Amino acid sequence: MKNITLALLVGTLILNAQVFDVKKGWSLVGATDKIENLSLFSEGCMGSVYSYGEKQWHTYPDGDLKKMNVGEGFWIYATKDCSVDTSKVVSTFDAKSFFLGNCATCHGDSGQGASSRAIKGQTKSWYSSKLTPFQKGDRTSPSVMSGLLKGFDVNNLDKLNTFLATLGK
């Protein structure tokens, strides 16, 4: 009998998609990159992957779950504590999709500001100076930003900073 646990679309609990460190049992993780192939999750210590969307559960390997999109949260059932390196199955990071899926709610879809400050019109180095401390864990407030960026892949952060520098131009 499989346990069913509510999966949430992740806004503040996004982890680095390159390596998932999971404990025995259920772990909630999120995709910072689009994962086109979930096959590595069925090797070694992984038992099942569950995601909830369109008012129904999707599962891997026994169901219709085939990929994970940027910003989607999913549950992994592990038979023991382990790590899964998905770098072989993670596609190219799409900074625009990441921004629209994770940042636009607060900063607006073109950086004009929404529930948080406007961020458009800045340079790449300005964005880097603001986001890198979150990525390194040196800055933790606001917690939404810390949750999104702590441990974020350095190359993907550079791509995100490059994209952000195009906002408002």
Structure tokens at 116: 């948080």
What pLDDT, on the 0 to 100 scale, is given for residue 3? 36
Structure tokens belonging to residue 87: 């770098």
Q: What residue has token string 């407030």?
A: 141
- Give the residue ranges of the chain where pLDDT is below 50: 1-17, 89-91
Give CA–CA dist 107/161, Å, rounded. 14
Cα distance between residue 123 and residue 146, in whole Å: 21
**CA distance linking residue 68 with residue 85, whole number of Å:** 15
The Cβ of residue 24 has, within 10 Å, a number of other Cβ atoms equal to 12
Cβ partners under 8 Å of residue 73, min gap 6: 7, 8, 9, 10, 13, 28, 29, 30, 31, 51
Query: Which residues pair with residue 48 across a beta bridge?
Result: 77
pTM: 0.50
Residue 92: both structure tokens together:
């190219």
3-state secondary structure of 30: strand
CB neighbours of residue 154 within 10 Å: 11
pLDDT at 161: 92
Residue 10 has what pLDDT? 31
Q: Report the CATH fold assignment for 95-164.
A: Cytochrome Bc1 Complex; Chain D, domain 2 (1.10.760)
pLDDT at 54: 81
Residue spans per domain, the chain: 19-85, 95-164
Chain center to CA of 16: 7
